[in-house]
Chains A and B, each alone.
Chain A
Amino acid sequence: QQQVKQSPQSLIVQKGGISIINCAYENTAFDYFPWYQQFPGKGPALLIAIRPDVSEKKEGRFTISFNKSAKQFSLHIMDSQPGDSATYFCAAAPNAGGTSYGKLTFGQGTILTVHP
């Protein structure tokens, strides 16, 4: 059972375009939603994260939009660059107390390719 569903599986955009990756979750106990960026041969690295008390968070060219009622969140990459080519994972962690905050549930991943 995939508790966090991510789409699309792959995405190709031109340099300067907007990349959009979507995630939907089922568990209403989730209350922390990070996005990770992974380059080939490397481990995932935190890109940006959002808490459910806000609907949007922006850091440079990266923006997370969050819709709590729809249980959906998305990553927007503005002015996409070839250096953004990587695999992106959305994730979620529950607010169930104690050690639950570290128990990330990941989406399936999106391979982003930005053509120059």
Chain B
Amino acid sequence: NAGVTQTPKFQVLKTGQSMTLQCAQDMNHEYMSWYRQDPGMGLRLIHYSVGAGITDQGEVPNGYNVSRSTTEDFPLRLLSAAPSQTSVYFCASRQLAGRFNEQFFGPGTRLTVL
């Protein structure tokens, strides 16, 4: 199993550009989520999904869109990038059922918005 994979590893955007961060998992996990990591702030939840066709907002959703058409994939879209979105983005997945299931994180995408 590859676990949780993310592409690209690095990306530089100009303000106003759009892009999609890709996330895929091969563990058949229903629950997938996106976090951003900023210095001194830990990781903050952006959006999450409990299955294909079902998404919801996390703590910091503004400026980001998500959709979930398959169990495996959960892309994160930036429609008009802003410098405040410079961050490291992590995708994660877990089995939905069960309170204490481990959440598995991908290797991250480092995004810089100029």
A interface residues, Cβ below 8 angstroms from B: 2, 4, 6, 9, 31-32, 34, 36, 41-46, 49, 51, 89, 95, 99, 101-109
Q: Which residues of B contact A2 (CB under 8 A)?
A: 41
- Max chain A Cβ within 10 angstroms of own Cβ: one of B4, B40, B58, B103: B103
Name which residue of chain A comes closest to B99, CB basis. A101
Chain A neighbourhood of B56, CB < 8 A? 99
Determine the distance from Cα of A53 to Cα of B63 in the docked complex, in whole angstroms. 39
Contact of A103 among B58, B104, B105, B106 (CB under 8 A): B58
Q: Closest chain A residue to B56 by CB distance?
A: A99
Q: Does B44 contact A (CB under 8 A)?
A: yes
Q: Which residue of B lies closest to A49 (CB)?
A: B100
Q: Which are the 5 A-B pairs with shortest beta-carbon distances?
A: A106-B42, A43-B105, A106-B43, A101-B99, A102-B31
Residue on A nearest B32 in the bound complex, by CB = A102
Among A9, A45, A99, A104, contact of B96 (Cβ-Cβ < 8 Å): A99
- Whether A108 contacts B106 in the complex (CB less than 8 A), given A32-B100, A99-B56, A102-B94, comes out as no
- Docked Cα-Cα span, A49 to B59, in Å, equals 22
- Chain A's nearest CB lies how many Å from the CB of B36? 11
CB pair B100–A103 under 8 Å, yes or no, is: no
Do B50 and A99 touch (CB < 8 A)?
yes
Contact A45 B50 (CB under 8 A): no
Assuming the contacts A32-B99, A43-B108, A46-B102, asked whether A103 and B50 have C-beta atoms less than 8 A apart, the reply is no
Q: Check: B8 CB closer than 8 A to any chain A CB.
A: no
Contact bitstring B38-63, A, C-beta under 8 A = 1, else 0? 00111111001010000010110000
The answer to whether B83 has its CB under 8 Å from any CB of chain A is no
8 extra interchain contacts, Cβ-Cβ under 8 A, other than A103-B33, A106-B35, A107-B42?
Answer: A36-B105, A43-B108, A51-B100, A95-B99, A102-B33, A105-B45, A108-B40, A109-B42
Contact of A99 with B43 in the complex, beta carbons under 8 Å: no
Which B residues lie within 8 Å of A4 (CB)? 42
User: A89-B42, A99-B96, A102-B31 are known contacts. Are A44 and B48 too (CB-CB below 8 A)?
Assistant: no
